[in-house]
Amino acid sequence: MDRLTTFISHTKRHSSSEGEDVDALVDLVREVIGNTRLREYFDASDLQPGSDWDAELRGNASQSAMLAIRTDLYASRSWCQREIALAKTNGMPVIMMDAIGFGEERGSFLMDHVPRVAVRKVDGRWQKRDVYRALNLLVDECLKRALWLHQKDLSGERPELDIAWWAPHAPEPLTLLHWIGSQLASGVLREAEGALRILHPDPPLGEAEREVLQEYAKSTQLGRDIDIMTPRQLATRGG
């Protein structure tokens, strides 16, 4: 089996309070990955001179498990936002390493809705154990994704489940918009009636989160109700 490719997403610009701390953390992440069975994809070193940077970054961000290093300026950088959006809309696992030093001016809604791991310095040094925790969690998310896709394949024997979307992660406005657009473009939903059932892995969304997504879906060209649930919730309904 091929080694898992890890896309390291980070910003090359640092806030004045961070200085060289960010570079040291990125170097530590690469060092730790180098001592594992993971394969890294690192934008600066893997891209060859003369290559199409935009196409290669997009391609790798949409096909690799992503380890995002969230420092002070990360959420505000357009390339970082694109990389996160590509990973999410392609259903790839994302782990956010929270390494914010001084603070963020605004943050970004694109960066939320993913597992987060705090990464801190002790005695002036980043801790390897924090990086290992993040990587272990990323591997766990990849295994969950593989199992989820296998469940989806097996569901072909259960058409009565009537699942419109096997969402690999709990839906959010970004991924819901992407899914609705793809379904409308393909014409898959034209003949369907009633609420569309969306299944995603546990844990379930909160009531307020579901309500926002349901109202959002009705405001789009979809114009229909969506029923969002996890397998456990489906089982309680007798599914």
Q: 59 is in which domain, residue-wise?
A: 5-148
129 within some domain? yes
Predicted model pTM: 0.88
Same structural domain, 75 and 169: no
DSSP class per residue in 137-156: HHHHHHHHHHHHHHHHHHGG
Chosen domain end from 125, 148, 171: 148
- Do 178 and 202 lie in one domain? The reply is yes
Q: pLDDT tens digits for the chain (239 residues)? A: 467 889 999 987 766 665 668 889 999 999 999 888 887 666 555 555 555 666 777 777 777 899 999 999 999 999 899 999 999 999 999 999 999 988 888 889 999 999 999 999 999 899 999 999 999 999 999 999 999 999 999 988 888 888 999 999 999 999 999 999 998 888 876 666 788 999 999 999 999 999 999 999 999 888 789 999 999 999 888 76
Q: Judge if 142 and 163 occupy the same domain.
A: no
Number of domains in the chain: 2
Instruction: Find the length of the chain.
Output: 239
Closest by alpha carbon to 7, among 71, 86, 73, 78?
86
Instruction: For residues 138 and 65, give the distance between their C-alpha atoms in angstroms, rounded to a whole number.
Output: 7
At position 134, the amino acid (one-letter code) is: A
Q: Has residue 153 been placed in a domain?
A: no
**Count of Cβ atoms closer than 10 Å to residue 181 Cβ:** 14
